């Protein structure tokens, strides 16, 4: 089954939801919605920050969410993220697929592999090429413009925005966009062997770029205008991918039993 994780500004899928589910996991309980499509396909939707955007990025119950989705039989995830741009090449409103990430988080549980035993998960290719390809195809057919290359996401701890010096440093290191939620979400998906792709929506220029001072209001405003387009793209892609992504050419996942 395919799951869609909606970030800031994407709290539901277009159309009527059909069934609410509570997922019990060793890491806590998580609420998701099941969407039954006419051809018998089910899609799971989860609002990353919970109902009403209640949970801040450094306190997200990511382990409960990923564990619960895996228990439901989810094999592929399409997600949305609001991001700041580290360059004016990605003006607000730009949509881009995620190609890699850098982790600057500080205080979150970032793994299921908490011992005993040592497991090192390969994150050379965190973002699934098959799911990314499906998103590009569907976006082209829907006439939704995507940035031509996949971008590098810098994940910060938040909840504060970054300083202009931090943003300059992240850009020098090779980052394209900055957000607060890809880590550990994408890593945990990888640990469970769930294929994962992310669409970033640029809501603002990051701190100090052309004098920008990011604000939560600005992020919500842009997401309010463009969030539905992203949700439609992900829903259509999920419907076309079908029951399970065909990931026979993807690198081997390090799934846990
Ligand atoms: N920084 C971090 N996270 C964000 C930003 C930003 O500028 N915009 C949207 N999410």
Give pLDDT tens digits for 141-191: 999 999 999 999 999 999 999 999 999 999 999 999 999 999 999 999 999
Averaged confidence pLDDT in the chain:
92
Least Cα distance to 159 among 242, 42, 54 occurs for 54
Residue 194: pLDDT over 60: yes
In a domain, 73, yes or no: yes
Atom 2 (ligand 1) nearest CA:
179
pLDDT the model gives residue 247: 82
Residue 14: pLDDT over 90: no
CB half-sphere exposure, 139, CA atoms < 13 A: 20
In a domain, 250, yes or no: no
pLDDT digits (tens, 9 = 90+) for 41-85: 999 999 999 877 789 999 999 999 999 999 999 999 999 999 999
In a domain, 169, yes or no: yes
In a domain, 165, yes or no: yes
In a domain, 131, yes or no: yes
Q: Lowest-pLDDT range, 4-18, 142-156, 163-177, 195-209?
A: 4-18
In a domain, 24, yes or no: yes
Atom 10 (ligand 1) nearest CA:
83
Is the previous residue joined to 143 through a cis bond, with omega within 30 degrees of 0?
A: no
Asked if residue 198 has its Cβ within 6 Å of ligand 1, the reply is no
Task: Give CA angle at 10 (8, 16), nearest 5°.
Answer: 155
Residue 135: pLDDT over 50: yes
DSSP for 34-79, please give it: EEE-TTS-EEEEEETTTTTT-S-GGG--HHHHHHHHHHHT--EEEE
Asked if residue 99 has its Cβ within 6 Å of ligand 1, the reply is no
Asked if residue 154 has its Cβ within 6 Å of ligand 1, the reply is no
Number of domains in the chain: 1
DSSP 162: -
Q: Lowest-pLDDT range, 27-36, 50-59, 62-71, 116-125?
A: 50-59
Cβ atoms of 23 and 64 within 8 Å: the answer is yes
pLDDT digits (tens, 9 = 90+) for 234-244: 999 999 998 88
pLDDT the model gives residue 249: 67
Under 8 Å CB-to-CB from 164, ≥6 apart: which residues?
207, 208
Return d(Cα 239, Cα 126) in angstroms, integer.
22
In a domain, 253, yes or no: no
Residue 11: pLDDT over 90: no
Cβ atoms of 157 and 104 within 8 Å: the answer is yes
Tell me the CA distances in angstroms from 105 to 59, 99, 109, one per residue in order.
12, 18, 10
Distance of CA 15 to the CA centre of its chain: 21
Q: Which two tokens stand for residue 14?
A: 């277009």
Least Cα distance to 230 among 75, 80, 23, 58 occurs for 80
Asked if residue 175 has its Cβ within 6 Å of ligand 1, the reply is no
Q: Which domain holds residue 207?
A: 2-241
Asked if residue 179 has its Cβ within 6 Å of ligand 1, the reply is yes
In a domain, 174, yes or no: yes
CATH code, 56? 3.40.50.1580
pLDDT the model gives residue 256: 40
């Amino acid at each position: 089954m395919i799951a869609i994780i909606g970030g800031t500004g994407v709290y539901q899928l277009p159309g009527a939801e059909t069934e609410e589910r509570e997922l019990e996991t060793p890491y806590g309980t998580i609420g998701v919605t099941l969407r039954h499509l006419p051809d018998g396909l089910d899609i799971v939707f989860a609002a990353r920050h919970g109902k009403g955007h209640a949970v801040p990025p450094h306190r997200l119950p990511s382990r409960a969410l990923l564990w619960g989705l895996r228990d439901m039989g989810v094999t592929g995830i399409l997600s949305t993220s609001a991001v700041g741009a580290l360059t004016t090449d990605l003006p607000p409103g730009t949509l881009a697929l995620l190609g890699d990430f850098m982790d600057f988080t500080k205080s979150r549980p970032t793994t299921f592999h908490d011992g005993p035993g040592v497991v090192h998960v390969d994150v050379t290719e965190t973002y699934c090429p098959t799911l990314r390809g499906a998103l590009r195809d569907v976006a082209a057919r829907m006439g939704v413009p995507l940035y031509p290359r996949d971008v590098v996401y810098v994940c910060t701890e938040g909840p504060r925005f970054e300083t202009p010096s931090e943003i300059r440093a992240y850009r020098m290191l090779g980052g394209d966009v900055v957000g607060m939620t890809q880590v550990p979400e994408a890593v945990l998906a990888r640990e469970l062997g769930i294929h994962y792709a992310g669409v970033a929506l640029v809501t603002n220029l990051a701190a100090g770029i052309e004098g920008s001072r990011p604000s939560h209001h600005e992020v919500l405003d842009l997401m309010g205008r463009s969030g539905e387009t992203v949700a439609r793209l992900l829903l259509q892609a999920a419907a076309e991918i079908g029951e399970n992504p065909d990931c026979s050419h993807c690198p081997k996942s390090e799934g846990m039993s």
